[in-house]
Structure 1
Amino acid sequence: MYAQAASIHEISHHPSSVLCRQSRTYGPFGMVATPMRFARNSEIYGEDEVAEYLYQVVSGAVRTYKIMEDGRRQIGAFYLPGDIFGFEAGDSHIASAEAVCETHLLMVKRSTLIVRASHESELTRQLWDAMALELRRFQEHLMLLISSAEQRVVAFLLDMSRRATKNAAIELPMSRQDVADYLGLTIETVSRTLTQLEQNGVIALPTSRRIELRNDKLPSGVAQNLG
């Protein structure tokens, strides 16, 4: 019942989203969920909108971002298949979320989840673990922004390798501009750093988005973080 109402609401606000009708789908934390499909670059939710749902990525990728006072876009996070997002400390979203490419999501209503968690200790633990992971990624991103350009790019590639492929070959769903806005760099700096890493044998660039890490060439102390 909740899922049907949520779907109609979302479609009316986001014409690029499509309700994927199925008899019953289970999403984050084993909750009955509403499957949705979002076209590339379409908005999932906007900054300051009421935070009604939690989302889990089934396929594709999602970016959250804010537009700064000087007009720059700062990407706060990327979410890949299996990731859960939409956690907020308050009742509204502090950033906007968009589909990086065609993306399939599962949505569950926050209020329903909170009611169930108040009676189910295992669900409470799962929520705690998911929020702790979100906090850890936020802290790691914050520390990354005070590193050198090379350290930022290498750390980003390692993170994508761990999360997306579990090996040293990465097919990035996001553009270099997205990467630059996430790392707090210009696109020129990202491209120049990738070229330098390729010339130094740290990575191979078969295509602009496919990157292969050479573990034995990674900067000292970094290779051990892979995997």
Structure 2
Amino acid sequence: MHVPDHFVLPQDHIDALLSAPFFATLVTPHEDGLQATPVPFHHEAERKVLVTHLQRINPQASTPVVGEGLVLVDRGDAYVSPRWYATNDAVPNVPTWDYVTLQVRGRVHVDASPQAALRAARALTDRFEDPEVLEAVGEDKLAKMARAIVAVEVHVDQVVGKAKMSQNRHPDDVRSVIAHFEQVGLSELAAFMREVSLPYAEARFAKIESLRRVTALKARVTSARDDGGQG
């Protein structure tokens, strides 16, 4: 994934996004091509793996994986109209799409044993439910159900995060997009922009303005020297 410097997702945000269970697309290579399945994951940070489970009859689980897997994690996106930009009347612009995404790449391990499948499914459930939820089902029934799934682990060998969230816009444009997102209920995207995009845009714009002033000053000094030399 191509990530320009100003769209790099900060590491603390990557850690936060991986800390809670999430829904993502698992992509794996096989002899007959790529396979992809949307599934829930949880991150076991101590072991540096993403854990999920697949149906045993899913070809992605039943045929050998012949290379690294890729987990595509989309954590929010929205259309952005140029009409929302504060500067659009002065400098008309085009629409765009803002988004936050992660790509996790690594070795894939499929464990077909029912015990491993049940451990994976139970670990995810435990993130949301009290123990009595599965206790009510009973271990015998859980063991039978686990025969229909397999455990899958993706080693977190590389993580690339990208947040294309208007950081490259004028700070006034960022503020106006934040206001619109808040108005239509996109509170998480608005909060991200307020915490990350706006400070970045303000610092970037201040740097640009400083460089412009320095360039203008150098031009005036050069012009004054030239005028003095002609005298």
TM-score, normalising length from structure 1?
0.23
**Which structure has greater strand proportion?**
2
Q: Tell which structure's C-alpha radius of gyration is larger.
A: 2
Asked which structure has the greater RCO (Cα within 8 Å, sep 6+), the reply is 2
